Amino acid sequence: MPQYQAPLPDFQFLLRDWLGLDEHYQKLGLHDFDFALANDVLSQGAKFATDVVAPLNREGDEQGCKLQNGAVTTPDGFADAYREYVANGWNAMLGEEEYGGQALPYTMAVPIHEMLNAANLSWRLTTMLTESTVLAVSRHATEELKAHYLAKLISGEWTGTMNLTEPQAGSDLALLTTKAQPQEDGSYSITGNKIFITGGDHDWTENIIHMVLARLPDAPAGVKGISLFLVPKFLVTETGEPGEANAVSVGSIEHKMGIKASPTCVMNYDNAKGWLIGEPHQGLACMFTMMNDARFQVGMQGLGAAEASYQGALAYARDRRQSRAPQGIQQPEEKADAIIFQPDVARMLLTQKALTEGCRALSLFYAKHMDIEKHGSDSKKAEAKPVLQFLTPVCKAFMTDMGLEVCSLGIQVFGGHGYIREWGMEQLMRDVRIAQIYEGTNGIQAADLIGRKLTRDKGEIMQATFTAFHELTTAIQEPELQSRAQTLLNDWCATSTECLTMSATDAAAAAHDYLAFTAYSLIGVLWYSMASKAQESEDGSIAKGKMNTCAFYEARILPRRDAHKAAMITGAETILSVSDSEFDYLP
């Protein structure tokens, strides 16, 4: 597998031409930012991702993490790369300036995230969760807690974790039992066991800040009785340095299918000292500040892995020569043609490409709306927020499902070599498989989309999303592309509106297919929009490549949308009519 290269030409086209970054920043009053700066940041980020992070990926998988004497060590080079990341300020990209952050727009940070994920999913994961921790502390913690923790989380001097899952409480947080006992000094004593804690311990930093969900003694049952606590690995002294060890320990680390270089810990809290974040019993809402960010970021993992797999497959298909192409000899000077000329191999590569570039456009469309939600006028903020609410589960679930498909195709292009660890293609598939599960399984995302985002507000959030995409279609210059985009979008909106009358049970049964139907539809709109904009490009490969890939998407990917539509309107009956003994015919 060749060295990962950041797809800079595509980022440049998408940000400069398609998204219109200069105008976007101007409209938001972000006068310190423009495409030229973004492009510079992209180049630096690309250099860091390719030169520092990517080379650790293969060996990290082989070495994995180790737990010895209660402390976790990560593979060779991981801690050094992290320190370089922190020293270069990358960890602070999104943090508030007041606490030493750079407050970069999301449209600049999101491409960097994609690159880091593509370079090394395991390595990126811990920094991703620190960013989420920063969000939760920044929005919900007291000024005192912020003063103690925020600057060091933003700089990356310390990392953060999310502690939700317990053995009996995964998708259903109502069942969690970790307890928080108020102490006289205003702190809380936290006791319980958490599982699947990414970065629960490591050898990167002097302290780790755990965000822990637990119940206060007077907590009502269920999800309305959950509070959020900040629990440091080492208690922080008055001068802000790590001091006495807190009663937090790592029980074990998990043996996983992939992301082996990321330590996934069982965490034990045994009367550990913690501090309340936000109001009592409002922990879930506070955690969702992290969670929504983390969900989009997990979607970005799918995208990153997909890009890495596509690059590997493309390089191999250009290099590997087997048989002659059915359309005629392509490389007469060679004994056989490169397999990229085989229509079925090109089909696999273009499936990878159309899905990956489509999802990249989706991620930047999402990032643009994050910028607007943060910096726009009140009315613009109000327009952007529902778009983000609607698209979060779509990005998380579709981009990770897509990631698995694309990484599996990457293996297939390699043939037998794709199955051999040394080539790195199978690692991408193993690594990305978790992304469909964590931060809410893709089934949970689908239920969120159809149950909360679509139906709860009687379609308002969906309509806001329609409006945002409709605006995109009105800007399409090419009349034929515009007409197709609008037909597709209108059909999606009409079908979504029909779903509003579904019963809760039918909606739950339709959830998976509605999410996929939505994603294929909206990414179709993005493809028409990209293809039209690319026609204005002076770069012939962009102009023709986007147009041709759009045609491929329309002909060969978009039909899946109809299959999902057909499945989702059949109701819950064909699912719920199967009773217990009919599953396996055993008495």
Residues 140-169 that bind its own copies (CB under 8 A): 165, 169
Q: Of 108-116, 183-191, 385-393, 414-422, which part binds its own copies (CB under 8 A)?
A: 414-422
Q: Among residues 220 and 240, whose Cβ is nearest to its own copies?
A: 220
Q: Among residues 318 and 456, whose Cβ is nearest to its own copies?
A: 318
Q: Of 110-118, 276-284, 380-388, 505-513, which part binds its own copies (CB under 8 A)?
A: 505-513
Q: Among residues 151 and 526, whose Cβ is nearest to its own copies?
A: 526
Q: Of 88-96, 271-279, 319-327, 490-498, which part binds its own copies (CB under 8 A)?
A: 319-327
Q: Of 121-129, 210-218, 379-387, 502-510, which part binds its own copies (CB under 8 A)?
A: 502-510
Which of positions 443-462 make contact with its own copies (CB under 8 A)?
A: 443, 446-447, 451
**Quick one: CA dihedral 337, 339, 344, 347, positive or negative?**
negative
Which of 131, 357, 383, 439 is flagged as catalytic?
439
Distance CA 305, CA 119 (A): 8
What tokens were used for 398? 């579709």
Q: Does 347 bind its own copies (CB under 8 A)?
A: yes
What tokens were used for 518? 């939505």
Distance CA 504, CA 511 (A): 10
Residue 143 bears catalytic tag: no
Each residue 556-575 as x (binds its own copies by CB under 8 A) or -, in order, gives x--xx-xxx-xx--x-x-xx
Instruction: Provide the minimum distance between the beta carbon of 378 and its own copies in the complex, in angstroms, as a whole number.
Output: 36
The terminus-to-terminus CA distance of the chain in angstroms comes to 51
- Strands 208-214 vs 159-163: parallel, antiparallel or unpaired: parallel
Instruction: Provide the minimum distance between the beta carbon of 196 and its own copies in the complex, in angstroms, as a whole number.
Output: 5
- The residue from 274, 304, 386, 545 that contacts its own copies (CB under 8 A) is 545
- The residue from 336, 380, 457, 463 that contacts its own copies (CB under 8 A) is 336
Which of positions 48-77 make contact with its own copies (CB under 8 A)?
A: none
Instruction: Provide the minimum distance between the beta carbon of 405 and its own copies in the complex, in angstroms, as a whole number.
Output: 10
User: In Å, how far from its chain's centre is CA 246?
Assistant: 31
Q: Among residues 21 and 277, whose Cβ is nearest to its own copies?
A: 21
Q: How many residues in total does the chain contain?
A: 587
Q: Of 51-59, 113-121, 181-189, 410-418, which part binds its own copies (CB under 8 A)?
A: 410-418
Instruction: Provide the minimum distance between the beta carbon of 193 and its own copies in the complex, in angstroms, as a whole number.
Output: 14
Q: Name the 3-class secondary structure at 229.
A: strand
- Strands 227-232 vs 208-214: parallel, antiparallel or unpaired: antiparallel
Q: What is the dihedral of CA 514, 517, 521, 526, to 10 degrees?
A: 80
- The residue from 1, 4, 6, 10 that contacts its own copies (CB under 8 A) is 10
Q: Name the 3-class secondary structure at 268.
A: strand
Distance CA 118, CA 351 (A): 18
Q: What DSSP element (H or E) covers 406?
A: helix 378-414
**Quick one: CA dihedral 358, 288, 441, 133, positive or negative?**
positive
Distance CA 318, CA 341 (A): 8
Q: At CA 16, angle to CA 10 and CA 22, rounded to 5?
A: 155
Q: Does 474 bind its own copies (CB under 8 A)?
A: no
Q: Among 388, 518, 472, 527, which residue's Cα sits nearest to residue 19? A: 472
Q: Of 131-139, 154-162, 292-300, 555-563, which part binds its own copies (CB under 8 A)?
A: 555-563
Instruction: Provide the minimum distance between the beta carbon of 287 and its own copies in the complex, in angstroms, as a whole number.
Output: 17
* Per-position DSSP letters for 327-362, written without gaps between them: T--S-TTSSS-BGGGSHHHHHHHHHHHHHHHHHHHH
Q: Does 103 bind its own copies (CB under 8 A)?
A: no
Distance CA 227, CA 217 (A): 11
Instruction: Provide the minimum distance between the beta carbon of 158 and its own copies in the complex, in angstroms, as a whole number.
Output: 25
Distance CA 201, CA 573 (A): 47
Which of positions 202-261 make contact with its own copies (CB under 8 A)?
A: 254-258
Q: Does 500 bind its own copies (CB under 8 A)?
A: no
The answer to whether residues 212 and 269 touch, using CB atoms and an 8 Å cutoff, is yes
Q: Name the 3-class secondary structure at 182.
A: strand
Each residue 176-205 as x (binds its own copies by CB under 8 A) or -, in order, gives -------------------xx---------
Q: Of 241-249, 293-301, 470-478, 539-547, which part binds its own copies (CB under 8 A)?
A: 539-547
- The residue from 109, 261, 404, 462 that contacts its own copies (CB under 8 A) is 404
- The residue from 333, 416, 494, 501 that contacts its own copies (CB under 8 A) is 416
Q: What DSSP element (H or E) covers 296?
A: helix 283-319
Q: Does 484 bind its own copies (CB under 8 A)?
A: no
Q: Among residues 166 and 371, whose Cβ is nearest to its own copies?
A: 166
What tokens were used for 53? 């992070």
Q: Does 437 bind its own copies (CB under 8 A)?
A: yes
The answer to whether residues 187 and 218 touch, using CB atoms and an 8 Å cutoff, is no
- The residue from 279, 419, 480, 498 that contacts its own copies (CB under 8 A) is 419
Which of positions 254-313 make contact with its own copies (CB under 8 A)?
A: 254-258, 311
Instruction: Provide the minimum distance between the beta carbon of 147 and its own copies in the complex, in angstroms, as a whole number.
Output: 35
Q: Among 246, 240, 242, which residue's Cα sits nearest to residue 207? A: 242
User: In Å, how far from its chain's centre is CA 488?
Assistant: 26
Catalytically active residues, by annotation: 439
